[in-house]
Amino acid sequence: MKEDFLELRELVKIFGGDKNEVVAVDRVNLKVHEGEMVTLLGPSGCGKTTTLRMIAGFEHPTSGEIILEGERIKNVPPNKRPTTMVFQNYALFPHMTVYENISYGLKIHGRPEKEIKRRTEEVMRLVGLTGMERRSPTQLSGGQQQRVSLARSLVMEPKVLLLDEPLSNLDAKLRVATRMEIRKLQQRLGITSVYVTHDQEEAMTLSDRVVIMHEGRIQQVGTPREVYGKPANRFVADFIGKANFIKGKILRQTSDGETQVEVLGKTYNIKVERGAWSAGDEVVMVIRPESIVVGPGSLEAPTGKIRQSVYLGSQMVYEVEVGEYILSVEIANPGHERVFAEGEEVSLSFLERSLHVLPPEDK
């Protein structure tokens, strides 16, 4: 497996004229491994789709390089690139049947009729469209159209499969089912894929690695666990899941990375990268809502007051006022736990292992 199968090097895309320049993609560096599923995740306007369209060749980079298997492809037109794209709105050819849609690319490449038939039928079986060859795309449901679109891209056996929010036009249930299917298919075929989405749940469940983008820049690249558990900055922490940000202070760091940190008057022992902090540093702690434990009573510090108490069935969601902060707290399985009412005094503690430290100036 090649480590840098597809590489984006210092990729920049600037749109607009002299006065209204928009830097859509700002010095993006990324290496995609062979057979890997990488998701570009970010809010709308973060440059993820532009990046994808540059890989496909629909946008020409203002500067930087796109390297596929060691070859610079920036100046290769989209029709000559070994990439195929699944479009957000599927972009099926309305005047062709399902079969004609899927076999279109093979025909364009002048494959022999026999091979076209074999490969088209094979991929149709793969995505579960067998029997729909003669249908018109307009007669299909959203989910079926989505499969046609996927099949049309897969049949080309692309070196890189590009997916531009392919599930955003499906309803919620279908979205969940389809994303599992896409993931299985991708793993089975071992296709290197770049997937664009703004849905963090989608990104987390689908990807080998997630690339979080904001304002044209990559904020963090990592496995789903890494980006959730060890967010690189406040934006990532906030964007992936929910997070509470509380000021803290480093008290001591031993040589093996064991660190003592004081948060809300209490001392916690955490493990961080060695040499990242020194004693006396002001830091910001990232604390996930599910890493906070609330207990009865007001004796043990820190204490807080329940501002809002919401029962959601599978979990209990509180807003707790602690000094200058309003903290979100989520308690799973509320059936077995004591439930607090609004106005009650509670004591709080944090699960040591899930505390994460960020520098203070980071906004």
Partner 1 sequence: MRSLTRKSGEVIANLRLIWKEPLLFTSIIAIFYFLIVFVAYPVFGVIKTSLVVKGKLDFSNYLAVFSARYYFQPFLNSMFLGICTACIGTFIGFIFAFGLTRTTLPFKPFFRQTATFPIISPPFVVSLAAILLFGRAGSLTPYVKEVIGEYSIYGLGGLILVETIAYAPTAFLVLYGVLMAIDPALEEASMDLGASRVKVFGTVTLPLSFPGIASAWLLVFIQSLADFGNPMVISGNYRVLSVQAFLQITGMYDLARGSTLAILLLMPTAVAFFLQKYWVARKSYVTVTGKPTGATIKNVEWYIKLPVYSICILYTAGVFLFYGTIVYGSFQTLWGVNPTLTLKNYVQMFQVGKDYILDSLTLSSLATPISGVLGMFIAFLIIRKKFMGRGLMDFISMLTFAVPGTVVGIGYILAFNRPSPIFPIVLTGTAWIIILLLVFRNMPVGIQSGIAALHQIDPSIEEASTDLGADSNTTFRRITLPMIAPAFFSGLVYSFVKAMTAISAVIFVVSGRWNLITVAILGFVDNSQYAPAAAMSLLLIAIVLIALGIIQMIVNRIGRGTRITSIIG
Which parts of this chain interact with partner 1 (CB under 8 A)?
14, 17-18, 21, 56-58, 60, 62-63, 75-80, 83-85, 87-89, 91-95, 104-105, 108-109, 152-153, 156
**Residue 19 or 173: which CB sits closer to partner 1?**
19
What is the closest distance, in whole angstroms, from the C-beta atom of residue 277 to partner 1 in the complex?
A: 39
Pairing of strands 160-164, 315-322: unpaired
What the block records as the tokens of 8 is 């984006």
Do 200 and 243 touch, CB atoms closer than 8 A? Answer: no
Q: E strands along 61-191, which residues?
A: 63-68, 71-72, 83-86, 160-164
Residue with Cβ nearer partner 1 (95 or 184): 95
d(CA 348, CA 266): 10
In angstroms, give the least distance from the CB of 320 to partner 1: 47
Distance separating alpha carbons of residues 255 and 46, to the nearest angstrom: 39
Q: Which is nearer to partner 1, 85 or 218 (CB)?
A: 85
Q: What is the C-alpha separation between 50 and 250, in angstroms, rounded?
A: 41
Count CB neighbours of 18 within 10 A. Answer: 5
Shortest Å distance, C-beta 135 to partner 1: 15
Q: How far is the CB of 183 from partner 1 (least distance, A)?
A: 22
Min CB(77)–partner 1 separation in Å:
5
Distance (Å, whole) CA 171 – CA 165? 13
Shortest Å distance, C-beta 340 to partner 1: 49
> CB-wise, 21 or 258, nearer to partner 1?
21
Residue 313 and residue 362: Cα distance in Å, rounded? Answer: 35
Nearer to partner 1, 38 or 106 (CB): 106
Q: Residue 290 corresponds to which amino acid?
A: E
Minimum separation from the CB atom of position 186 to partner 1 (A): 18
When the beta carbons of 23 and 293 are compared against partner 1, the nearer one is 23
CA distances from 123 to 58, 120, 143 (A): 26, 5, 16
Nearest-angstrom CA–CA distance, 270 and 260: 6
Contact predicate 38/4, CB 8 Å: no
- For partner 1, the closer CB: 14 or 317: 14
